[in-house]
Structure 1
């Protein structure tokens, strides 16, 4: 569908909806929009940070969400292409994305087999969000993948907002651009609707690392006195010139834009459908239910000769995938002035076909992974004066079955994940909290197969399995939150004690995914803080800081985990006057290690970014300047078996101009 045609349709819908006369039922009392009950509240004793849709919109120009999240404590990110479009990844407290639970309106976005959430398949998703909550640590119970290092909860655009329409576009360095249009009807009687379409492109900073992607998001709702429904459809497509291989430092000294991949490309399409219902049978009871389905098709090229360090030939391998996920979850909540009790469950079934082929030979193998999951939880929150008591326990069972040319007995894991905590309202503005939580997580398919896409056997005919044991963590969080009209902030300390942790070992497998090893004992600890201060009515300061002290103990050796910097600092100074909004942002990231030997490092660096926004009538213009000091830096990499250090270079100084027209 051409973006211009769809944008015209959006304008027509807007004009039609505004031409209508509001009916009397517009003013009747009805339920609020469908809510997600896993979200932590002000007195919930867990560590979290909320970002509003307005705050996201000020920074969002269609870039990968990982880069938006780096402005929150303890988050690091990088991209394959060096620019902010295409494949990008984030880590929380040094814990990789496969161990961070990600949901959209409660629907799991983590791909069940390898537990990664791939935002690149849904480009410009953050334009359609009303907000997000990032929980650090075990947090509250979530659907889907274990919230091992934390959880990222995304909340879609509200259908109850007033009618609006926006057209937007932007252009910047490396041939990057975004075009989008969105329209919201507002509530018209008992119905409401929302639609967005986007196209994003970048040539990439690296040579031959372009990304072209598009997405649509549609939702509609029916509102009644005691119940309402919401149907949402999210679909995306992306094409990339691949750049997932690190580049040797010796090559980068001669050409920082070098791409170590061969002439490899990918194409993926993914869609997600969710039907939500909220029913309030009594004044104190609420039942929220969702049914969801998603499907993915696509694949990517693999130049084996180039990967092994030999000259490329006409030989080109291909990984193709076709997957489907079907699930449902429901939550019952009973709430009074002091007491909130919730119980719920989630069931899902998933399958993914893997097909390997070579351009001239044809199909080489075909296998399918099947994964079923069931979970149930009970959560209780009780307020006794200034004290809030919280307990949460989840039972979760997972079963993985493999069908291929090598027989493998089904694998299963069972977990009981308890959490408890308390918060104390020291004053009307200050809350002190402590929480403890324990959770377990099964290995991914990539962990099980050691980075191989097709299961193989050793010379004795035995199945080659690598990490099969579950990993566990006990998380202690102690924090203080404060909020006043001019000053708001939070500070927390944490200690995460791991058993059998599955950690990155600094290497990549032949499928392009990071490899891991089990370690017997490890821990992560640190201090994190967020402070926002309104110095004057026009001038504000924002600081996010994270200090991490983490160690792995394996036999008699003690070392730091890879890609876990000890210090992360974000400082923003913002000034607003009349139609102008100006902001200057600095980021410091200390060095981190690439290998267990702690001999290879990624050097620390400082970035300086700025943005200037001007509003005129219905127009809004925003100019972004990134890496203004032109820092030459890397933020991730790995070490080959022969000791070669390979890095992922990130973009030098660059600019982007974003324009929005509000109709």
Structure 2
């Protein structure tokens, strides 16, 4: 309530308040100044000299006070000064390029203004092997999301399955197997990105097929037996070499130096007549300069799916020379696979039937028994020459040259084929048999791929003396030459002028890939690291000749990509990191995207990805925790929409906007000394904002009459479950020493959950794969003695709960007014909608038994 006129007189208490409050404020302010001054007077300095083992000063050496945003560098005499430190205990971290890091505890006593701490640093032994993969890998000082599996982790689950199944429990990974067991044709998706969007390198050298951009792990069976570690980067990641660096990267390292001689035998047997035998050897360091390592492997399996057999052979040989500051290594490794085709998929109506879910349609076009040679037969041999040189402690270089030779075919029995399908000049050919005029006959065809891939990569590294600035300039030039051709190797009757094994189509694909990147990382004194990565990539792709449908697919495309990446990492202490990054990735269309389009339609556009990653990593003495939020925004992603080309084959089209957004959690906890719990969980949304589906329409006589357009908005991306999780529980039942022997027994329960996913981008429930959970039980016994060295027996019971599930499939949607109830592949939808589907059921409960002897 207001008042008029002069204010009322102050009461006595109010007058005292007006006098006392300003007085107390002045006293408090004076006390604060006094306390601050006394604190400044009590602060001191820690100083000393940093030298090497010869007593020479290390100018520029870095000194950091752990837990404080304080650091400095040594002067020209190696002297450092850390000033304005209050009394207390401190841990100082000393680092200098080419020297082992040193941590020292010291104390600044009360009333002492200076404490002395001199440090002598030990020079590192020259380690040149890591340079091979350092250019393309991430570490805890880079702002990217990654998982690294060491050799011990890989060996624990290695029974001869393809690489994807050894990575199945890593975050956001979903694996597939055509034959249902992990042997033969397998695949992996990371955050829903398929194999054509995952870059794979071995020792920094590209493995992806340059044209399809996929990786066929079956071509390199048992490569994990020669692998020291594997790193998976999710999202765009750091710049790397080769095609497919878009949704994730997988890097295998096989270049570890073994100074001691060794030998090893690993064997496995299991359900479905599965066998594996692997022998490894190493000479150790000979004459202090040379090493030779080798491996020979054979794996066979009948597969869960009928006739889904795999006969796999491989070898690995690596010879190296080591100088004082240099090394030269030659790797030669090869794989030969013969797998019976199981990629047709089981008819959808049979996939849940205990007796029919193993049916394999491949090879069944032959009358009577299925065609016995409906196989995929391919050989791939790799040659790698790796040179590493350390110019100075600050500068180092690695160069590689590589050559990959691949050739092989897949063979098919095709019934009732018109010869005009293969040779237009024989379109009118017919045969009269038993009074009937036959224009279609059974044939056997082979489709070949014969290719050469060669090139080189380089990376020049610089590290400043204080380890705060790191630079890498890298690049690659790669060339691919591939021949695609088909042959008729048999027919019931060959037209005149057509010889057996005569080619009916021939096309070439020649691709040049030139790239270069510059990476810079700078660490500020208060444990904040800044990261920048700029990559330029030039792709020149030339296609000539005909495709398997006899169309001329000749065309050329030249693409230029600029892929910037930037981020920061904050490490308040040695156990915590926070990181943020933004990265741009581009991906060129693959061969099919070019060749399947109609001649008059525009060329497909390259895809663009904008990837943001925000993450946190924390470790304790007995636990770890990681959390990552990601947002992957796509422009012009290529997807199947039902659109067809001029001969009716499906083609991918660019959709303007799609995205993946998710949260990844991972952690581990060791408790009660013998128990360890680990796991990961991904929660995500994966959407296409809008696209037009085109559905084929047929009349009552199943004649194609056109296509119907259906508009979709905010639908799920294909093969992108919203929930993916894994967990492991390990119990160390025995860890005991008895004389010169040591016995260890571990029990482990492994689990993987994959949520609902769709076979296409329409979110049509008919096209949904049901969620599934698979649990495995593993028992490992290890015996270490002086004579045996290391002997391990392991047992893996897969699919412990006998879950019935499929992890992959395909779908073709069309409209047809007729009845499809008699077709096991076709499922009726609303109205005249029909869905032809093939699924890939996985094996129920089965086992693998492993033996490894290191000597």
- Tell me if TM exceeds 0.5: yes
User: 2:128, 2:389 within 8 Å by CA — same for their partners in 1?
Assistant: no
How many residues are paired up? 621
Structure 2 match to 1:257: 358
Structure 2 unaligned spans of 5+: 1-123, 364-370, 419-439, 495-501, 547-551, 692-711, 736-743, 815-834
1:169 positional shift: 1.0
Once the two structures are superposed, the pairs formed by residues 88-487 of structure 1 within 5 Å of their partners are 88-188=186-286, 189-252=288-351, 253=353, 255-262=356-363, 263=371, 264-305=374-415, 314-336=442-464, 337-359=467-489, 360=491, 362-385=502-525, 386-405=527-546, 406=552, 408-450=554-596, 463=599, 468-487=604-623
Separation (CA, whole Å) in 1 of partners of 2:317 and 2:717:
42
Deviations 1:126-180 (A, max 9, x none): 1111101100001100000142101001101512353221111110000111000
Deviations 1:41-72 (A, max 9, x none): 11110011111011000001110111111110
User: 1:34, 1:278 within 8 Å by CA — same for their partners in 2?
Assistant: no
SS at match of 2:853: strand
Deviations 1:180-229 (A, max 9, x none): 00012222211112101100110010111100001101111111111111
Separation (CA, whole Å) in 2 of partners of 1:397 and 1:224:
36
Separation (CA, whole Å) in 2 of partners of 1:439 and 1:121:
28
Describe the shift of the 1:183–1:353 C-alpha distance in structure 2 as closer, same or farther (beyond 3 A).
same
SS at match of 2:228: strand
Q: Are residue 493 (structure 1) and residue 629 (structure 2) matched?
A: yes
Deviations 1:391-446 (A, max 9, x none): 00100000111121536342111100000000111332110000000111100002
Deviations 1:550-596 (A, max 9, x none): 11022562200111111111110001122201100111111111122
Counterpart among 11, 32, 42 of residue 128 in structure 2:
32
Q: Are residue 571 (structure 1) and residue 727 (structure 2) matched?
A: yes
Structure 2 match to 1:581: 746
Deviations 1:274-311 (A, max 9, x none): 10111111110001100000010100023455999xxx
1:317 positional shift: 2.2
Q: Greater Rg, structure 1 or structure 2?
A: 2
User: 1:448, 1:465 within 8 Å by CA — same for their partners in 2?
Assistant: no
Describe the shift of the 1:428–1:609 C-alpha distance in structure 2 as closer, same or farther (beyond 3 A).
same
Separation (CA, whole Å) in 2 of partners of 1:427 and 1:504:
48
Structure 1 match to 2:849: 657
SS at match of 2:285: coil
Structure 1 match to 2:662: 526
Describe the shift of the 1:165–1:208 C-alpha distance in structure 2 as closer, same or farther (beyond 3 A).
same
Describe the shift of the 1:257–1:313 C-alpha distance in structure 2 as closer, same or farther (beyond 3 A).
farther
Structure 2 match to 1:18: none
Structure 1 match to 2:99: none
Describe the shift of the 1:313–1:419 C-alpha distance in structure 2 as closer, same or farther (beyond 3 A).
same
Counterpart among 745, 758, 764 of residue 593 in structure 1:
758
Separation (CA, whole Å) in 1 of partners of 2:455 and 2:726:
39
User: 1:325, 1:349 within 8 Å by CA — same for their partners in 2?
Assistant: yes
1:490 positional shift: 1.1
Counterpart among 63, 67, 74 of residue 165 in structure 2:
67
1:265 positional shift: 0.9
SS at match of 2:143: coil
User: 2:798, 2:845 within 8 Å by CA — same for their partners in 1?
Assistant: yes
Separation (CA, whole Å) in 2 of partners of 1:259 and 1:54:
37
Structure 2 match to 1:14: none
Describe the shift of the 1:318–1:634 C-alpha distance in structure 2 as closer, same or farther (beyond 3 A).
same
Separation (CA, whole Å) in 1 of partners of 2:209 and 2:797:
34
Separation (CA, whole Å) in 2 of partners of 1:439 and 1:291:
25
1:341 positional shift: 0.6
1:101 positional shift: 0.4
User: 1:467, 1:517 within 8 Å by CA — same for their partners in 2?
Assistant: no
Describe the shift of the 1:265–1:411 C-alpha distance in structure 2 as closer, same or farther (beyond 3 A).
same
Structure 1 unaligned spans of 5+: 1-27, 451-455
SS at match of 1:42: coil
Separation (CA, whole Å) in 2 of partners of 1:142 and 1:506:
34
Once the two structures are superposed, the pairs formed by residues 585-624 of structure 1 within 5 Å of their partners are 585-599=750-764, 600-617=767-784, 618=788, 619-624=791-796
Describe the shift of the 1:604–1:58 C-alpha distance in structure 2 as closer, same or farther (beyond 3 A).
same
Describe the shift of the 1:306–1:335 C-alpha distance in structure 2 as closer, same or farther (beyond 3 A).
farther
1:547 positional shift: 1.2
Separation (CA, whole Å) in 1 of partners of 2:659 and 2:604:
21
User: 1:505, 1:562 within 8 Å by CA — same for their partners in 2?
Assistant: no
Separation (CA, whole Å) in 2 of partners of 1:257 and 1:498:
38
1:318 positional shift: 1.5
User: 1:635, 1:649 within 8 Å by CA — same for their partners in 2?
Assistant: yes
Describe the shift of the 1:515–1:626 C-alpha distance in structure 2 as closer, same or farther (beyond 3 A).
farther
1:506 positional shift: 9.0
SS at match of 1:641: strand
User: 1:389, 1:421 within 8 Å by CA — same for their partners in 2?
Assistant: yes
1:641 positional shift: 3.2
Structure 2 match to 1:22: none
User: 1:588, 1:605 within 8 Å by CA — same for their partners in 2?
Assistant: yes
Separation (CA, whole Å) in 2 of partners of 1:306 and 1:226:
66
Structure 2 match to 1:632: 804
User: 1:34, 1:228 within 8 Å by CA — same for their partners in 2?
Assistant: no
1:637 positional shift: 1.0
User: 2:415, 2:442 within 8 Å by CA — same for their partners in 1?
Assistant: no
Separation (CA, whole Å) in 1 of partners of 2:650 and 2:574:
47
Structure 1 match to 2:425: none
User: 1:317, 1:357 within 8 Å by CA — same for their partners in 2?
Assistant: yes
Separation (CA, whole Å) in 2 of partners of 1:508 and 1:91:
26
SS at match of 2:443: coil
SS at match of 2:165: helix
Counterpart among 718, 738, 753 of residue 562 in structure 1:
718
Separation (CA, whole Å) in 1 of partners of 2:335 and 2:644:
27
> More deviation in 211-220 or 296-305?
296-305
